[in-house]
């Protein structure tokens, strides 16, 4: 597997730490406008490979990826791994699991 699953408790610990990481929301722009996790950057899954240069600086740094329920983010993790990104984390259950 090219990524590690984390839960909302682990994400909250990361958010409280001083660690520099990218929180990547790969939902649609409409979904992102409705709700998001503070500090997240939105690059929709459908545009990810076309806009990969936007996150190139994080190729060797930690990236936490989330979507609505945790399925699209797995696809994003796999795509980024194929593009040479190394430190990938998938938020289990997505933003639904995060806000509950």
Query: pLDDT category, 99, cuts 50, 70, 90?
Result: confident
- 3 state SS of 11: helix
Query: pLDDT category, 100, cuts 50, 70, 90?
Result: confident
pLDDT in tens, 20-66: 999 999 999 999 999 999 999 999 999 999 999 999 999 999 999 99
Q: Name the pTM for this structure.
A: 0.95
DSSP 49: T
Task: Give the other-Cβ count within 10 Å of 41's Cβ.
Answer: 15
Average per-residue pLDDT for the chain: 95
Catalytic residue (one of 63, 67, 77, 79): 67
Task: Give the other-Cβ count within 10 Å of 35's Cβ.
Answer: 13
Two structure tokens written together for 11: 């994400």
Question: Does 77 participate in catalysis according to the annotation?
Answer: no
């Amino acid at each position: 597997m090219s990524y590690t699953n984390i839960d909302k408790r682990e994400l909250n610990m990361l958010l409280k730490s001083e660690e520099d990481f990218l929180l990547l929301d790969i939902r649609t722009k409409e979904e992102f406008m409705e709700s998001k996790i503070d500090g997240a950057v939105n690059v929709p899954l459908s545009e990810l490979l076309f806009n990969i240069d936007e996150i190139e600086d994080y190729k060797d740094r930690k990236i936490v990826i989330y979507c609505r329920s945790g399925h699209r983010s797995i696809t994003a993790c796999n795509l980024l791994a194929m593009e040479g990104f190394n430190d990938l984390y998938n938020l289990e259950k997505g933003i639904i699991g995060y806000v509950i």
